[in-house]
């Protein structure tokens, strides 16, 4: 018999299949600590694909593309489920965008974005199955797992 590990949501967004060690990073980059809606967080839940996973449920909240881009940088295989009246009306896997703006800090201390009021701008590169970001200004490359979210 299958049972819910986390209570059902009437309306809102579920971020599922978050690797357990990335859950609080996703929570933080979405700035959910200042969210006034009801949030349910589950971590180290059993998962057939991940072993252990995290899940975040936010009542009456639906995410914009720039927010889901942030999630894709931290947990690219996470899923966004849109819930209306207890039914999943949309399931969407996250996809990395071609470009990332204003989300990631450039690791190059000499980059203009670290000294001037210039918004960060990275190109997403995929080489041999590995994802990297390349700064538009200084051309420094950084591995996705090493990025620092602003």
Q: For 79-117, what is each residue's pLDDT tens digit?
A: 999 999 999 999 887 878 888 888 889 999 999 999 999
pLDDT of residue 97: 83
- What integer pLDDT is reported at residue 124 of this predicted model? 92
Decide: helix, strand or coil at residue 112. helix
Give the position of tokens 């991940």: 50
Per-residue 3-state assignment (H helix, E strand, C coil) for 14-80: EEEEEEHHHHHHHHHHCCHHHCCCCEEEEEEEEECCCEEEEEEEEECCCCCHHHHHHHHHHCCCCEE
Looking at residue 74, its pLDDT comes to: 83
The pLDDT value given to residue 23: 92
**What parts of the chain have a pLDDT lower than 50?**
none
Contact 124, 99 (CB under 8 A): yes
The pTM assigned to this predicted structure is 0.77
pLDDT score, position 64? 80
d(CA 52, CA 70): 21
């Amino acid at each position: 018999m299958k049972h819910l590990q986390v209570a059902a949501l009437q309306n809102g967004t579920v971020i599922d299949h978050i690797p357990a060690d990335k859950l609080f990073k996703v929570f933080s980059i979405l700035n959910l600590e200042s969210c006034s809606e009801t949030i349910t967080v589950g971590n180290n839940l059993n998962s057939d694909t991940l072993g252990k996973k995290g899940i975040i449920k936010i009542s009456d909240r639906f995410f914009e593309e720039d927010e889901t881009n942030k999630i894709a940088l931290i947990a690219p295989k996470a899923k966004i489920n849109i819930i209306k009246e207890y039914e999943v009306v949309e399931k969407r896997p996250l996809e990395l965008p071609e470009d990332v703006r204003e989300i990631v800090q450039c690791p190059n201390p000499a980059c203009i974005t670290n000294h001037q009021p210039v918004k960060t701008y990275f190109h997403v590169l995929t080489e041999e199955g590995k994802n990297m970001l390349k700064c538009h200004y200084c051309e420094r490359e950084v591995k996705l797992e090493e990025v620092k979210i602003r």
